[in-house]
Structure 1
């Protein structure tokens, strides 16, 4: 758990695991999140083929995009 939240990772190699673990404590600040929102509007689905017809809570409710 990081900051009280679970982080799900899916590495395929030990190198990927190390990279993912080092980034677990990264927190994006508001200007970066604002820029991401400009690129991909909250609640949008960039690649529906990746979701296998699953309902993704963070996509279903745009307010979940920036949990505090």
Structure 2
């Protein structure tokens, strides 16, 4: 479940989306999934996660 006030670790996003670490980092590198840095740690905001899910939904509707 996505909580509006959370910053998610990559491992959390892997579990939520049921995707591998490699796929998550590919999505981050391509800009399809956005992230921020908290110190040296990469985090994914709840808004970025919702936007990514919406992008996947739009792509599946167009196919």
TM-score (norm 1): 0.27
In terms of fraction of residues, the more strand-rich structure is 2
TM-score (norm 2): 0.28
Q: Which has the higher contact order (CA 8 A, sep 6+)?
A: 2
